[in-house]
Amino acid sequence: MINALEELGFEFYKSKKIQAIMIKGASVNIECKLLRENTLGPLVTIQNFSSSIYLNPLLETILSLIPFPSEMTNKQIDIWETSNAH
């Protein structure tokens, strides 16, 4: 599988805290550790802990330019909620 992705031009690097590889240039890479896996009949629930989150620098810059509700006035929040309503 990794070889096929490399043939498509993907590049990888080793994660810092878990034994896995990360995709270089991805918007977000998240390292998680499995805490518990519960099985109840045919259902499996997984609880994990995110130990590290890495944002692509370009995405980080873009996100820093977007005003989020905590940084807005009430009038701006009304406009934001209206424009983001589904």
**Over the stretch 9-61, which tens digit does the pLDDT of each residue have?**
999 999 888 888 999 988 888 888 878 888 888 888 877 776 777 788 887 77
Which of the pair, 71 or 31, is modelled with greater confidence? 31
On whether the pTM is more than 0.85, the answer is no
Tokens of 74: 């009430």
Position 12 scores a pLDDT of 93
Position 25 scores a pLDDT of 86
Tokens of 44: 């499996």
* Alpha carbon distance 1, 23 (integer Å): 13
